[in-house]
Amino acid sequence: MKLGYLGIDQHGTHYHIKKHPRKELLEQLGCTHADKMYCYTTSGKAHTKKGYVIKGLWIDVYQVHTWGEVC
C-alpha cells in the first residue's frame, strides 16, 4: 500500500509529501516554479524523472510503501 512520497535534497533535508509531490514541495518551499530533474543513461538519453530542482535544491522524490502485511 502506498503511504505517500518522501523528498530528499542534496543536503539531506527530508520533505514529507502526502499526494502531489510537485505541488506540495512548492508550498513547503514557498515557490511557484519547479524544474524536472531526470536520470540519464550512459548514452546520454533521459531515462526517467527523478525529482525536481526548486530554489537551487535538487530534490529526489521517492514513493513510500508499506513493507509487508502487519500480523
pLDDT at position 69 is 63
Q: Is 12 exposed, middle or buried (0-12, 13-18, 19+ CB in 10 A)?
A: exposed
Grid cell 502487519 in the structure block, residue: 70
Q: Which residues pair with 39 in a beta bridge?
A: 48
Mean per-residue pLDDT of the chain: 90
Specify whether the CB–CB gap between 52 and 35 falls below 8 A. Answer: yes
Specify whether the CB–CB gap between 15 and 25 falls below 8 A. Answer: yes
Tell me the mean pLDDT in the region 24-35.
Answer: 96
Q: How confident is the model at residue 38 (pLDDT cuts 50, 70, 90)?
A: confident
